[in-house]
Structure 1
């Protein structure tokens, strides 16, 4: 336990300041075009608040997923998001609500195909 002015050290174990990173390369079950991927992302973000949690946290996670790593880190830190998985696939808010993000909203699959 520390005071409000203390900083978290590397071995603290709480995980609230975990440095985020890009997800590992992944493959979708079927090859996708860029427009199919964007449609899947849009559908997820449209329905995400219905999974529970707070809309402002979902908005912060969306902004972080669409930003570069340093900006994404600043967004999750300022929103009070507790990152369990460094690739942002599992996060919590300060009230303990869980937020699970599919990899397709965080990065592109290795089997993305060109549209003709």
Structure 2
């Protein structure tokens, strides 16, 4: 039995298993080049939203990795996963990290562009 503010690590700790985000659709069809541009812009500006550069770097590495490696990165960085698809995470100091789905997976309405092979 714990105090009112104590939490079970399984309920709110970094032990939540990372999973792929559910399929999503962008407001309009976009190309891979446009998607990559959006991702780069997000990652370049993300540290300005708060939190630490180290956690943002770990989240980027996890977002770009396979699921098993992503889980290892998240666990090693001490990231507390609120949503298993990584759209909402916290660090050990309580800083909040919101990740848009477009940095985590591709939209269902992604179209080919001249840069796709």
TM-score using structure 2 length: 0.88
Gaps of 5+ in 1: 2-7
Q: Any idea what the Cα deviations from partners look like across 1:22-64, whole Å, max 9, x if unmatched?
A: 0000000010000000000000000000000000000000000
- Please state if 1:78 is matched with 2:64: no
- Please state if 1:29 is matched with 2:16: no
Gaps of 5+ in 2: 2-7
Distance 1:14 1:40 in 2: 30
Distance 2:44 2:38 in 1: 10
CA shift, 1:15, in A, is 3.5
Indicate the residue corresponding to 1:53 in structure 2: 51
Give the 3-state SS of the residue equivalent to 2:89 in structure 1. Answer: strand
Report if aligned partners of 2:87, 2:100 keep a CA contact under 8 Å in 1: yes
Give the number of equivalent residue pairs. 108
CA RMSD across the alignment: 1.5
CA shift, 1:13, in A, is 1.9
TM-score using structure 1 length: 0.89
Q: Any idea what the Cα deviations from partners look like across 1:72-111, whole Å, max 9, x if unmatched?
A: 0000000000000000000000000000000000000000
